[in-house]
Amino acid sequence: MRRGSTNRELKHALLERLMHYYHFLCGQPGAPTPDTVTSTEIARLVHMDDTLVRKDLAAIGVRGHPRVGFRSVEVLSAIRGVLGFDTAFESVVIGAGRLGSALASYPGFASLGMGIVGLFDNAPQKVGLTCGRHVIQPMVSLPTVVRNHGVSLAILTVPPDATQEVADQAVAAGIKAIWNFASTSLTTPDDVFVRHEHISVGLAELSYQLSRMSEQ
Amino acid sequence: MRRGSTNRELKHALLERLMHYYHFLCGQPGAPTPDTVTSTEIARLVHMDDTLVRKDLAAIGVRGHPRVGFRSVEVLSAIRGVLGFDTAFESVVIGAGRLGSALASYPGFASLGMGIVGLFDNAPQKVGLTCGRHVIQPMVSLPTVVRNHGVSLAILTVPPDATQEVADQAVAAGIKAIWNFASTSLTTPDDVFVRHEHISVGLAELSYQLSRMSEQ
DNA sequence: TAGATTGTTAATCGATTAACAATC
DNA sequence: TAGATTGTTAATCGATTAACAATC
């Protein structure tokens, strides 16, 4: 049955705002999270309208308390629930270059529900090397690792000309989603979710702002 | 005078779309860029409405040709001009961890007008080490490097609890913008542009989609 | 209670899309 | 020329904000 459970897809922009709230409510280093926050306080922190904050929180089912605001733990746990941070899943990193190694060793993923159970690379001189807590494995081992650990996400940090082929192998191995850090677009089956991480978008914005500054 | 030159600030979403067009027009590996493209073709590639593509291109001053479309080189060079890719600027990377090293060695930045002239870290065991084409320098050298090379951007890849202090040092050294890869927010003077790179937003979206998939 | 804050409806605003005339 | 495509105005749509009643 599950009435009440909103089953329509949440907009990308909403997810982004939720992550923004989550982030601020987790507290800055040194400043602990207070017990309750008002929508106005959140809004000021993230430079938004307080009505939108209340709408967003209502959309994910958090109830506020008149005269008090929202309880931080309730907000945080609702966001965790909606974003799926409490639904742990496993991933592999493919491409053991500098970026791949950095991601494979990043400590912040665990608390968001993502585990990394393998680091892969096909370069013979890399296979077998230790990288943080990982030993670099060859691509032939991918299907086995995916099966044994129930891996659902492949994080791709391979050179552009290899990305499509590696993506195909990951899909064939049974992964459900791809996080692509290469600047190439991918062709994948419809039931595989692909997220591109466009670092150049960030650079574009910086470049634009810097050239504006120097203009005057 | 400079009439005609649109001086109002371009929206973030527009910059993002422009980067998206730029990306596709640069061509996928193997598929060379055709001489001309129609707004409909671009729209299909990036899954958008063709009218919006024409509006965006008009906004940055590219004229199309009825019955022909847009000349790829004109579009590319207009985007380069607007985003400031032809206005080269220098940057430094602060924090020589895995991510910092990866960014300092990334070859794709040069063609977008960004140079990296220094890699900094305060850990005594890192200072002096070679990392790609960089030698890791201590923070005390930052002001000199910034001055000598006219550095305008600081790329921050230091641990969260050090980010604010490092940002202060960078600002004091005279940089004009900060690209922050740590998950902490920063307090900076109004004339310093800060761009946060939120990797957790990407993870949030993947996590959300994966938990939706497994839901049914 | 009075007052602060939520929750929600209505109004506004901006961005996207549709329609179509202009162009080569 | 006929037809494909641009450029632009008008219509639509959705998202944000304003207003205010409900709540504790």
The spacing between the Cα labelled CA in B58 and the C1' in D5, in angstroms, equals: 15
Tokens of A209: 């702002």
Query: A115 touching B, CB under 8 A?
Result: no
**Closest partner CB to A98 (pick from B30, B85, B105):** B105
pLDDT at residue A116 in the model: 98
Cα distance between residue B52 and residue B210, in whole Å: 31
**Closest partner CB to B210 (pick from A89, A206, A207):** A89
Q: Considering only CA atoms, which of B151, B51, B158, B26 is closest in space to residue A198?
A: B26
Residue whose pair of structure tokens reads 């004091």 in the numeric block: B172
Query: A153 touching B, CB under 8 A?
Result: yes
A140-188: pLDDT as tens digits = 999 999 999 999 999 999 999 999 999 999 999 999 999 999 988 899 9
Segment among A3-7, A120-124, A135-139, A186-190 with least mean pLDDT: A3-7
Q: How many CB atoms lie within 10 A of CB A156?
A: 25
Query: Chain D: nucleotides under 7 Å from a protein CB?
Result: 3-9, 15-19, 22-24
pLDDT at residue A33 in the model: 77
For chain B, which ranges sit under pLDDT 50?
A: 1-6
Query: A110 touching B, CB under 8 A?
Result: no
Domains and CATH numbers, chain B: 12-83 (1.10.10.10), 89-200 (3.40.50.720)
Find chain B residues with C-beta within 8 A of A85's C-beta.
Answer: 204, 207
pLDDT at residue A9 in the model: 81
Query: B112 touching A, CB under 8 A?
Result: yes
Cα distance between residue A19 and residue A79, in whole Å: 8
Tokens of A93: 């990193």
CB contact under 8 A, A19 and B198: yes
A109-132: pLDDT as tens digits = 999 999 999 999 999 999 999 999
User: CA B101 → CA A123, B109, B131, B157, distances in Å?
Assistant: 20, 14, 7, 9
Tokens of B80: 């380069």
Percent of chain A with pLDDT over 70: 94
The spacing between the Cα labelled CA in A51 and the C1' in C10, in angstroms, equals: 14
User: CA A174 → CA A67, A116, A152, A153, B48, distances in Å?
Assistant: 51, 16, 7, 9, 30
Taking CA B96 as the corner, what is the angle to CA A136 and CA A125, rounded to the nearest 5 degrees?
25
Q: Considering only CA atoms, which of B136, B142, B134 is closest in space to residue B174?
A: B142
Question: Nearest residue (Cα to C1') for D8?
Answer: B55
**Closest partner CB to A183 (pick from B108, B161, B193):** B108
Residue numbers of B between 70 and 99 with CB closer than 8 Å to A: 82-85, 87, 89, 97-99
Residue numbers of B between 172 and 201 with CB closer than 8 Å to A: 176-177, 179, 183-185, 193, 195, 197-201
CB contact under 8 A, A160 and B207: no
Mean pLDDT of chain A: 93
Cα distance between residue B144 and residue A92, in whole Å: 42
CB contact under 8 A, A201 and B16: yes
pLDDT at residue B28 in the model: 67
Judged by phi (left if over 0) then psi (alpha if -120 to 50, else beta), residue A156 lies in beta
- If pLDDT is split at 50, 70 and 90, which confidence band does A28 have? low
The spacing between the Cα labelled CA in B52 and the C1' in D12, in angstroms, equals: 15
Best mutation target among A98, A106, A134 (most B Cβ atoms within 10 Å) is: A98
pLDDT at residue B6 in the model: 41
CB contact under 8 A, B19 and A177: no
Determine contact, residues B21/B79, Cβ cutoff 8 Å: yes
pLDDT at residue B4 in the model: 34
Q: How many CB atoms lie within 10 A of CB B151?
A: 24
Query: B159 touching A, CB under 8 A?
Result: no
The beta strand positions in B8-161, using DSSP E, are 36-37, 70-71, 89-94, 114-120, 130-131, 134-137, 151-156
pLDDT at residue B1 in the model: 31
pLDDT at residue A38 in the model: 97
Query: A19 touching B, CB under 8 A?
Result: yes
Question: Nearest residue (Cα to C1') for D14?
Answer: A11
The spacing between the Cα labelled CA in A52 and the C1' in D15, in angstroms, equals: 10
CA count, 13 A, side-chain hemisphere, A187: 3
